[in-house]
Structure 1
Amino acid sequence: MPLDADVLEAREAAEEPRTLIETAYRQLRRDIIDGSHQAGQKLRVEHLKATYQVSAGTLREALALLVSDSLVVAQGQRGFRVAPMSLADLEDLTRMRVLLECEAVRESIALGKDDWEASVVSAFHKLSLAEQRLRVDPQVSFDDWEACNRHFHESLVSACKSRWMLRFRRLLYQQSERYRRVSATKGPPPVEVHDEHRAIFDAVMARNADLAGAVLTAHVHRALTVIRKAGLLK
């Protein structure tokens, strides 16, 4: 039975891939997010077979899943391309991510119990350690930091009960990873990022939904602000 991207996302958090399609999907997604396959690039199945060591059919299945993630664009008989990136897209993405993520955090604050708080504390601690390593060697430590950053943001919304809100929020977060990598690797060093995460953490632990929403909004706008100011995208 075909797997959708949500099922693969849930599995990825817990275990190794079960099928060649899952493996190819994860590898392609990673390579798109980290810029190995650049925005707008043609993804030629015949060329990718050797790189990912899977059949053309498996690659097409994996690419179809990435289309549902909005990381790849299907062009009918012309094949697939990496989804484009633009300042206008980032502005729209940021606006929608703020709406969904702040609402999901607000619901988590209202509904979360002790185990939710414990998960946020644990995720923040791991993120803080990753941020220390990031300051020492940004190039080597970025992927580790990004994984911890993703886990922290997911922990914040994990008590939210809306499956659809979490699904669309996850899609928007995944899209934002590409832009965040541009801002982090081509823009100025993110020296205030730990302070921003600390402010979010403190507001959530205090169960102050209004303050949490305000500091989270400013935090989510970081990549947009850096990219716009530095002229990294048009």
Structure 2
Amino acid sequence: MASSLYERMRADLLAGRLLAPGRKLQIEFLSHQYGAGQTPVREALNRLTSDGLVEQRDQRGFAVASVSAADLVEITDTRCWLEEIALRKSMGSGSAQWEEDLVLAYHRLSRTPRWLNQEIREINPEWDRRHRAFHRALIGGCGSRWLIGFCEQLADQLYRYRALSVPKISPDRPIQQEHEALMNAIAAGDPDRAVALLTEHYQQTARIVLEDPEAFSG
């Protein structure tokens, strides 16, 4: 029960569906919301605190983790630094399995529409899943489960920030072309260009959120 509840709450926190950042998480409210007892709710909240998605406040219970522009910049920069290492190691590994997995992930992503409804900025959840899988595949050949794990944790945090600004995301951003250019650099065996393109890809997303005046209003 606690594990299933944890996954449901985690998905809702990442997508911004539960409560706004900084808002208090009432145990009774969550028990009612998820149809679960208070003990599994507390267990799930403790795990989510370890993930950095929930804050435990002394004598005041739990709250949705707060957000800030400075935090977004720090998380984005750190992800860029770590994924540079992971991507360079993946490209240098010469693994045919990594290349096959990456091409498959890219192919699946490129065939999936990004929007369910472009006019109201409703992102296709299947595109979201395949986009995440593509970025996971990019670094999947680095040979370090620890490095991949750290990158995944940062990706979770940035997904949460991105969800704050989904209504402001421009449908005209050539994100497919960004992915294609990255794949071309990898196919050409050019790690410097691949890293530069991946870094700009992440920094562009951060700039979109930073330029949204409502993203940090809570």
Q: Above 0.5 in TM-score?
A: yes
In structure 1, C-alpha distance between the alignment counterparts of 2:214 and 2:169, rounded to whole Å: 8
For 1:99, which of 58, 69, 81 is the aligned residue? 81
Name the stretch that deviates more: 105-114 or 200-209: 200-209
Structure 1 unmatched ranges of 5 or more: 1-19
Does the 8 Å CA contact 1:196/1:219 hold for their aligned counterparts? yes
For 1:73, which of 33, 46, 55 is the aligned residue? 55
Structure 2 unmatched ranges of 5 or more: none
Name the SS of the counterpart of 1:77 in structure 2.
coil
For 1:44, which of 26, 35, 38 is the aligned residue? 26
Alignment of 1:202-213 (within 5 A): 202-213=184-195
Matched, 1:137 2:117: yes
1:140-160 CA-to-partner distances (Å, cap 9, x unmatched) read 543222111110011111111
* TM-score between the two structures when normalised by the length of structure 1: 0.85
Does the 8 Å CA contact 1:101/1:157 hold for their aligned counterparts? yes
1:8-55 CA-to-partner distances (Å, cap 9, x unmatched) read xxxxxxxxxxxx112111111111111112211111111111211111
**Structure with greater helix share of residues:** 1
For 1:62, which of 44, 49, 71 is the aligned residue? 44
Matched, 1:165 2:147: yes
Closer/same/farther in 2, CA of residues 33 and 190 from structure 1, 3 Å limit: farther
What is the letter of the counterpart of residue 220 of structure 1? Y
Alignment of 1:5-44 (within 5 A): 20-36=1-17, 37-44=19-26
Report what 2:160 is aligned to: 178
What is the letter of the counterpart of residue 32 of structure 1? L
Matched, 1:193 2:175: yes
User: What is the number of residues matched between the two proteins?
Assistant: 213
- Shift of residue 61 of structure 1? 1.0
Closer/same/farther in 2, CA of residues 94 and 126 from structure 1, 3 Å limit: same
Aligned-CA RMSD value: 1.7
What is the letter of the counterpart of residue 109 of structure 1? M
- Shift of residue 225 of structure 1? 1.2
- Shift of residue 217 of structure 1? 0.4
- Shift of residue 186 of structure 1? 2.5
- Shift of residue 135 of structure 1? 4.3
In structure 1, C-alpha distance between the alignment counterparts of 2:211 and 2:60, rounded to whole Å: 36
Closer/same/farther in 2, CA of residues 99 and 77 from structure 1, 3 Å limit: same
Name the stretch that deviates more: 104-113 or 181-190: 181-190
* TM-score between the two structures when normalised by the length of structure 2: 0.91
